[in-house]
Structure 1
């Protein structure tokens, strides 16, 4: 298995990045490729999961071990494939997601694309109590705030899509939006529109 890739980040695509390792270009599928934008044409270290199917061998990339851990746990749940797991990782942090599992928050889980009530219950059934090891902050008093921030980001993404912006455009500004400390969705949407107009 390929545990990580270290090399020159040569290209960022809509759903993947290309990392050159001694003249070989590895395509690594990511939840948010533009999160690596600041490393373009520089050395980058990417945690990877090597997914082997009968018809393909795919590399999925993550910025840290916690993201990779959550990904492996999600794809172990019946009804969730790699694409579904990436869709979740694209708009949530591991701690916030783990907190939602522990609280059995169906509404939070069904806010993700392709996750219905049945799958949400399956996620809770399979993962409750199993994500606390990597995310000790789950019980932290600030956790509800983190969850609220993630909900705002999710709402902002949906609002931007409704306005006609593409996934590529939205993903490009996500890292900046996630740094916003505003607790108001409207303010974050305004910030997002401002960033989109500059691009």
Structure 2
């Protein structure tokens, strides 16, 4: 299993990045918030989890071992696959998920695209007492950089399951509230807006 990866970022997309290490580029799926912090040529470190399926090998990357642990635990929940687990981390984050489970907050869980009332109830039942305490990221992990918000946030939201028009409206609302917000903050505000519309 590939549990850790360090190298140079290439071809950064809304939900993935290629990490070049030892002359080999590995495609790693990450959350949109994490992708927004990475730039081509940047040295990055990721905790990773290799998900093996009958027809694919997919590498998922995380800023901390804690986030990776939460992802792995999410995969044990009935009906939760890697894509939905990443959506949970993208919308709520590890700490947000912990808070939602501790508070038995179904509404917060249903703010994640793909999770309905039944799915939220099942997650609460299966995750109670299983989530680890919070952790810290790698010291070398890319730090948040303030950049002008743009289509990257809309693309990330569409990738998480919202329609283009919904994503554009949410980003416009978030930008109107905080015009100079960096991309990660804009993404969180847009997700919060969309969550309130579900």
Same-fold call, TM cutoff 0.5: yes
The 5-angstrom pairing of residues 14-33 of structure 1 reads 14-32=14-32, 33=34
TM-score of the two chains, using structure 1 as the length reference: 0.69
Worse-matched range after superposition: 158-167 or 55-64: 158-167
Deviation at residue 179 of structure 1 after TM alignment? 8.4
Using the alignment, how far apart are the partners of 1:47 and 1:99 within structure 2?
A: 23
Aligned counterpart, 2:138: none
Structure showing the higher helix proportion among its residues? 1
5+ residue gaps, structure 1, are: 137-156, 186-199
Counterpart residue number, 1:162: 166
Query: Superposition pairs for residues 30-49 of structure 1, below 5 Å?
Result: 30-32=30-32, 33-37=34-38, 39-49=39-49
Report the counterpart of residue 121 of structure 2 in structure 1.
121
CA RMSD of aligned residues (A): 3.1
Cα distance in 2 for partners of 1:179, 1:31 equals 12
Q: Which moved more, 1:75-84 or 1:5-14?
A: 5-14
Aligned to 1:80: 80
Number of residues paired by the alignment? 157
1:174–1:73 distance in 2 versus 1, CA, 3 Å = farther
Task: Please give the alpha-carbon distance, in whole angstroms, between the structure 1 residues aligned to 2:97 and 2:41.
Answer: 32
Give structure 1 regions of 4+ aligned residues with deviation exceeding 4 angstroms.
157-161
TM-score by length of 2: 0.69
